[in-house]
Structure 1
Amino acid sequence: MNKVFLSGAELTTAQVLQIARCGAPVEITPTARQRLADARQLVFDLVDADYPIYGFNVGVGQNKDKKVFKQFFGEYNCNLIRSHCIGVPPYASDEDVRATMVARLNTMLTGCCGVSPEIPEMYMAMLNHGIHPLIPEKGSVGQADIGLISHIGLAIIGEGNVRMNGREMPATEAFAKVGLKPLTLGPKDGLAIVSSNALSAGACALLLEDIEELLDLSELIYAMSLEGLNGNTAPLDDRNHALRRFTGQRESARRISRYLQGSYIYEVDPKKAVHDPLSYRSTPQITGAAREMLAYTKERLEIQLNTTDDNPCLLLEDRQISPSANFDPLNWVLGVESLAIALSHVSKTACMRLIKLVTPNYTNLPRFLAPEVDVLCFATLQKTFTSLDAEIRHLCNPCSMDTFSLAGDMEDTSTNATYAVQNLRRIYRNLHIIFAIELIHATQAMEYRKKLSFGQYTGKAFQIVRKVLPFYKTDRNITQDIQTVCELLQSGELTALIRE
């Protein structure tokens, strides 16, 4: 696995996935190391400042009026870590923890937090040795994940628990196995560890990569449904989409057309309806809109991954430290919520297609795609995907404005970023199942048209599905079929086909 070099400026969501999910090692660049050293020196130069600096020589939140004396910096910063460990289970997965750590590590390298260089070095070592602190997922209002990522700090000072090689153990035990020692904290270290949106941002980075892959697959599955329907290809005509000038819409139509190249549905058929239902005609428009919201959100999130969200913020060139509200992530959280709404439209459209695909009036195929009159086939499966869609409809309701005024009325806005990302993840998981169900229906419908020629990619996809899922001849456990096709989608075989 190729090493990912971190500079504080160039981290992508794809690289977060490589580090978090595939175990790619990380390395801090020499330039970033020098920036860390320069920023730390500025912190030491400001230690004796005769004016209050938030989270540095005075407290945080409502305790901003309490002075922190130099001789108590170590004790104060450790207590800050301990008192901010307020999260509750469930605990984040190892890959989400890794994504969180690399997200925070990279923003530390901007030189704006003034953290002790030993701390980002520890993050790097823990990532490379597979030491993953236990981070609860609940307890953040999305104005920096202070109550959750503080558990990373607890591990760093040797008081928390971690997972290593699939086993939970005290951090000190894991450190001893690889030759690491707990760290002693100095001025500003505690706040630098806890004050970041790294948990929500790291998890979101992985999720956006997953959603992009699912949208790619959704267009292939739609193309197969169109063949199963014996639908019209005129709505895919690039000339129509060029006139509209929405880049996502045009890209979606182009992809679908590529998958269908050589298909029988391009042949003239006087029996074919003049127009298909909108759930078939409008798919490029709807999926294209989701693609554009995905691109918008990814662009904003990558800004999050490569800039500071620290408060206070070190202005290295000006040799100052300044109060900041850059921990407010609303810019990209709004993208997450908009993407959730877009995916709800994608889900609804897929469900509508599924209903049409088992209706003889639209397909001229058997009712519910059943091979015999005494076979129920997909008669009751509609309840599954419509219930999943109903859940998506509720999950896409925005939550970023559901806030309280906290910390003595000092913190009176927030974004619920972690909750917004968790909702988006649940939407993704439901939508993944819905597309697996559509693929089951599409291949069943295509089976009735096997004497005709399928598209260049849809035909190959049909054969891939048939290797794991036989034609539905007699009634069987459909739950198992859904699981089989979900695993196929997760395997990457179909993704590799369309990305070749």
Structure 2
Amino acid sequence: MTNGQNWRTLVLDGSSLTIEDVVAVAGGLVRVEIAEDAWQRLVRSRQFVLRQTESDTPIYGFNRGVGLNKDRVVEEQAFESYNRSLLYAHSAGVEPYASERQVRATLLARLNTLLVGTTGASPELVKQYAEFLNAGIHPLLPSRGSVGAGDITLLSHLGLAFIGEGDVIYKGTRMAAEEALRQAGLQPIRLGAKDGLAIVSSNAAAAGHGALVLQEGERLLEVADLLYALSLEALQGQLSPLDKSVHRSRPYEGHGSSSSRIRSYLKGSSLWSRSTGALQDPLSFRSASPVHGAALEALGYAKGSLQLHLNSSEDNPCVLEEEGRILPSASFEPLNWVLGFEMLGIALSHVSKIACYRTIKLSTPSFTGLPRFLAPEAHILAFSTIQKTFTALDAEIRHLSNPVSADYYSLAGDMEDHSTNAPLAIHKTGEIIDRLTYILAIEAIHAAQAIDLRNGIKLGEGTLTAYNRIREVVPFLDRDRSLSGDIKAAYTLLKTGGLGDQRGRSLGSPCY
């Protein structure tokens, strides 16, 4: 973290956290505070729970064990040692470790769901999440080992750091959690009844990472619209599929958003005034807006479902202090938004496929009227082999788009016979987005080359900005050279949000 003079403050209340908030906190320069009413809700919930344990009412995870050990009594004098043992037993994740951004998103995701007030955890534990975020203490968080019915094998590693055990990254250095706490002026917490279960029984690892993936996906779909517009000018294709009246006759929301955005990028383009060319363009051009729109709708569903999760209970049992009840529940079940990510992955595979086909068309003289493989002279090979690269990446995307949420075992003595593989579903969606960024980067290179070969066409306001920024990092291919450097340069431009829209601003935010 940097010094706090430029920080803004985000007040958390358990009910109003947005995906954008998660992204902002993950990137730093945002301090978090707990709203007073949320804090009082935590205190009341904790006091209610402690009254129940004093009466020896059997409560899962409080004075009784968890999982198949739910029948085992936990005595009050053993609360601290039992909850510590629970963390040890659940610390079973394996590398690679999550990035610091992902760790921060995870801490925030769980902190906000704790503020809903249905956990009954000690307020001191909840405060530790905020302290870690504000101090910039980032526990080493394994990314693999969760089956997606609560990330219990992963989040336990956060708990170890809270009590001063395990390793963390602090001020860019890996060190013992105990030492990081000392340097930050913080103390390890002492675990009480239910605290161990409150730490591990959550989907915060998948949910936090998921928020970051959705932000990248949203930005990339904007980029896809912009580069399609540039390719349409490179092809000198038809604008009729983007007509407002076409959308009114088939009013899918995503299609409308995509076509409207593409029209804005093409404002001022000579495409609007040229004489009609081919009667119809290939479907990879004609269907781009509906396909991108379908992906936008899939992303919208995933975003809405995940945002609801981030502001609601994910606890079993569910502590209903105002009703005087503690009820067993399946509130940890993340299937709604996991299915959203699975759907988004499939939708992005369609975006990828048609981008590949558009790029192939741009190298084909019968569609463009330009030289084969966009070579400026007959003896230059140009883009004759690069098709292998982007189609290989598309094959990876097709593989990654296969659903994983239905692949699970019955575990814990056959008590836990449903799960979702939520972290894997999120991870592979992120991997799809990364590969698609490469594919769109290669499309950008082809579109810019074709536009140069056409010599003198007028670009739209948005596409002109995009073209200029592409040419800043990838020069015109006037002779054969290694293309890997060009691909990397264009990929980096797209990945860091450096491609401009019609107002010259960056598309999306940098991916830190």
TM-score, normalisation: structure 1: 0.98
- State the partner residue of 1:482: 487
Counterpart residue type for residue 290 of structure 1: A
Matched, 1:356 2:354: no
Whether the aligned pair in 1 keeps the contact of 2:462 and 2:501 (CA below 8 Å) is no
- State the partner residue of 2:88: 82
- State the partner residue of 2:375: 370
2:453 to 432, 435, 448: 448
- State the partner residue of 2:295: 290
Matched, 1:66 2:78: no
SS across alignment from 1:25: strand
- State the partner residue of 1:384: 389
Matches within 5 A, 1:310-459: 310-459=315-464
2:44 to 38, 44, 47: 38
Distance in structure 1 (CA, Å) of the matches to 2:274 and 2:99: 52
Counterpart residue type for residue 326 of structure 1: S
Counterpart residue type for residue 389 of structure 1: D
- State the partner residue of 1:9: 15
Distance in structure 1 (CA, Å) of the matches to 2:202 and 2:346: 26
Whether the aligned pair in 2 keeps the contact of 1:216 and 1:495 (CA below 8 Å) is no
Deviation at 1:451, TM superposition (A): 1.1
Whether the aligned pair in 2 keeps the contact of 1:84 and 1:146 (CA below 8 Å) is yes
SS across alignment from 1:314: strand
Deviation at 1:487, TM superposition (A): 1.4
SS across alignment from 2:322: coil
2:234 to 228, 236, 257: 228
Deviation at 1:364, TM superposition (A): 0.3
Matches within 5 A, 1:101-120: 101-120=107-126
- State the partner residue of 1:305: 310
Whether the aligned pair in 2 keeps the contact of 1:19 and 1:25 (CA below 8 Å) is yes
Matched, 1:255 2:261: yes
1:469 to 469, 474, 492: 474
Distance in structure 2 (CA, Å) of the matches to 1:155 and 1:49: 32
Distance in structure 1 (CA, Å) of the matches to 2:208 and 2:92: 20
Counterpart residue type for residue 392 of structure 1: I
Deviation at 1:267, TM superposition (A): 2.2
- State the partner residue of 1:266: 272
Distance in structure 2 (CA, Å) of the matches to 1:437 and 1:49: 67
Counterpart residue type for residue 316 of structure 1: E
Deviates more, 1:254-263 or 1:99-108: 254-263
- State the partner residue of 1:91: 97
Distance in structure 2 (CA, Å) of the matches to 1:491 and 1:404: 39
Deviation at 1:268, TM superposition (A): 3.4
Deviation at 1:129, TM superposition (A): 1.0
Counterpart residue type for residue 229 of structure 1: L
Whether the aligned pair in 1 keeps the contact of 2:43 and 2:123 (CA below 8 Å) is yes
Distance in structure 2 (CA, Å) of the matches to 1:401 and 1:229: 42
SS across alignment from 2:319: strand
- State the partner residue of 1:187: 193
Deviation at 1:498, TM superposition (A): 5.6
Counterpart residue type for residue 340 of structure 1: G
Distance in structure 1 (CA, Å) of the matches to 2:272 and 2:363: 22
Matches within 5 A, 1:115-264: 115-264=121-270
Distance in structure 2 (CA, Å) of the matches to 1:351 and 1:391: 13
Change (3 A) 1:495 1:101: farther
Deviation at 1:467, TM superposition (A): 1.6
Deviation at 1:499, TM superposition (A): 7.9
Distance in structure 2 (CA, Å) of the matches to 1:49 and 1:284: 62
Deviation at 1:427, TM superposition (A): 0.4
The C-alpha deviation readout for 1:400-438, integer Å capped at 9, x for no partner, is 110100000000110000010011011011001101111
Equivalent residues, number: 499
The C-alpha deviation readout for 1:25-68, integer Å capped at 9, x for no partner, is 11111111111111111111111234321111111111111111
Distance in structure 2 (CA, Å) of the matches to 1:492 and 1:34: 41
Change (3 A) 1:321 1:499: farther
Deviation at 1:376, TM superposition (A): 1.0
TM-score, normalisation: structure 2: 0.96
Deviates more, 1:458-467 or 1:366-375: 458-467
SS across alignment from 1:163: strand
Whether the aligned pair in 1 keeps the contact of 2:462 and 2:500 (CA below 8 Å) is no
Whether the aligned pair in 2 keeps the contact of 1:101 and 1:198 (CA below 8 Å) is yes
Distance in structure 2 (CA, Å) of the matches to 1:457 and 1:329: 39
Deviates more, 1:17-26 or 1:55-64: 17-26
Whether the aligned pair in 1 keeps the contact of 2:25 and 2:105 (CA below 8 Å) is yes
Whether the aligned pair in 1 keeps the contact of 2:15 and 2:311 (CA below 8 Å) is yes
Deviates more, 1:177-186 or 1:446-455: 446-455
Distance in structure 2 (CA, Å) of the matches to 1:31 and 1:476: 63
Distance in structure 1 (CA, Å) of the matches to 2:434 and 2:503: 21
Distance in structure 1 (CA, Å) of the matches to 2:503 and 2:200: 42
The alignment-based identity, stated in percent, is 51
Whether the aligned pair in 2 keeps the contact of 1:213 and 1:495 (CA below 8 Å) is no
Distance in structure 1 (CA, Å) of the matches to 2:473 and 2:455: 18
Change (3 A) 1:462 1:335: same
Deviation at 1:395, TM superposition (A): 0.6
Counterpart residue type for residue 240 of structure 2: A
Q: Tell me, which stretches of 5 or more residues in structure 2 are unaligned? A: 1-6, 506-512
- State the partner residue of 2:4: none
Q: Cα RMSD between the aligned structures? A: 1.1
The C-alpha deviation readout for 1:309-348, integer Å capped at 9, x for no partner, is 1111100211221111111100110101001000001000
Distance in structure 1 (CA, Å) of the matches to 2:317 and 2:148: 17
Whether the aligned pair in 1 keeps the contact of 2:407 and 2:421 (CA below 8 Å) is yes
